[in-house]
Amino acid sequence: MIKYLLRYREILLVVIIAVLLAAFSTRSPGFARPANLSNIFNDTSILIILALGQMAVILTKSIDLSVAANVAFTGMAVAMLNAAYPGLPLIVILAAALGIGAVLGALNGILVWKLNIPSIVVTLGTLTIYRGMAFVLSGGGWVNAHQMTEPFLQTPRQIFLGLPLLGWTAILIVAAMYLVMSRTLLGRAIYASGGNPAAAVYAGIDVGRTRFLAFTISGTLAGLCGYLWVSRYAVAYVDIAAGFELDSVAACVIGGISTLGGIGSVAGAVLGSLFLGVIKNALPVINISPFSQMAISGAVIIAAVVFNARQERRRGRIILRDRGASEQIEGVT
Partner 1 sequence: MSQSAQPEPVTDVPLLEMRGISKSFPGVMALDGVDIALFAGKVTALIGENGAGKSTLVKILTGIYAADAGEILVDGAPVHFANAQDAIDAGVTAIHQETVLFDELSVAENIFLGHAPRTRLGFVDWKAVNARALALLHSLESNIDPRIRLKDLSIAQRHLVAIARALSVDARIVIMDEPTAALSRKEVDDLFQIVQRLKRQGKAILFISHKFDEVYEIADHYAVFRDGRAVGSGELAGVSQDEIVRLMVGRSIAHAFPKAEVRLGETVLSVEAYTHPTEFRNISFALRKGEIFGIYGLVGAGRSEICQSLFGITRPSAGRLVLEGREIAIRSPGDAIGAGIVYVPEERGRHGAVLQLPIYQNISLPSLSRTSRSGFLRAAEEFALARKYAERFDLRAAALSVPVGTLSGGNQQKVVIGKWLATQPKILILDEPTKGIDIGSKAAVHAFISELASEGLSIIMVSSELPEIVGMSDRVMVMREGLSAGIFERDGLNPEALVRAATGNAGIQP
Q: Which spans of this chain sit near partner 1 (rule: CB under 8 A)?
A: 183-188, 191-192, 195-196, 198-206, 262-263, 315-333
> Interior CA angle at 328 toward 322 and 333, to 5°?
110
- For residue 249, give Cα distances in angstroms to 79, 98, 135: 26, 21, 25
| Residue 54: alpha-carbon gap to chain centroid | 4
- Closer residue to partner 1 in complex, CB, 68/192: 192
CB 32 within 8 A of CB 201: no
Cα 228 to chain centroid, rounded: 14
| CA distances in angstroms from 184 to 58, 176, 193, 298, listed in the order given | 18, 11, 14, 35
One-character DSSP codes across 229-271: HHHHHTEE-TTTTTTHHHHHHHHHHHTT--TTSS---HHHHHH
Give the residue with the Cβ less far from partner 1, 53 or 261: 261
Smallest gap from Cβ 329 to partner 1, in A, equals 5
Residue 77: CB minimum distance to partner 1, A: 30
Gap between the Cα atoms of 182 and 184, Å rounded? 6
Minimum CB distance to partner 1 smaller for 150 or for 330: 330
Residue 153 Cβ, how far from partner 1 at the closest point, in Å?
Answer: 37
Q: Which is nearer to partner 1, 150 or 322 (CB)?
A: 322
Between 1 and 318, name the residue whose CB sits nearer to partner 1: 318
Q: Smallest gap, in angstroms, from Cβ of residue 251 to partner 1?
A: 20
Task: Give me the least distance between CB of 317 and partner 1, in Å please.
Answer: 6
> How much is the CA Rg of the chain, to the nearest whole Å?
21
As measured in angstroms, the least distance from the Cβ of 181 to partner 1 is 11
| Pair 282, 31: CB distance under 8 Å | yes
H/E stretch holding 85? none
Report the residue number, 37 or 186, with the smaller CB distance to partner 1: 186
Q: Give the type of residue at 324.
A: G
User: Toward partner 1, which CB reaches closer, 161 or 319?
Assistant: 319
Least gap, CB of 179 to partner 1 (angstroms): 9
Q: Is residue 245 within 8 Å of residue 126, measured between CB atoms?
A: no
Q: Are 40 and 167 in contact (CB under 8 A)?
A: no
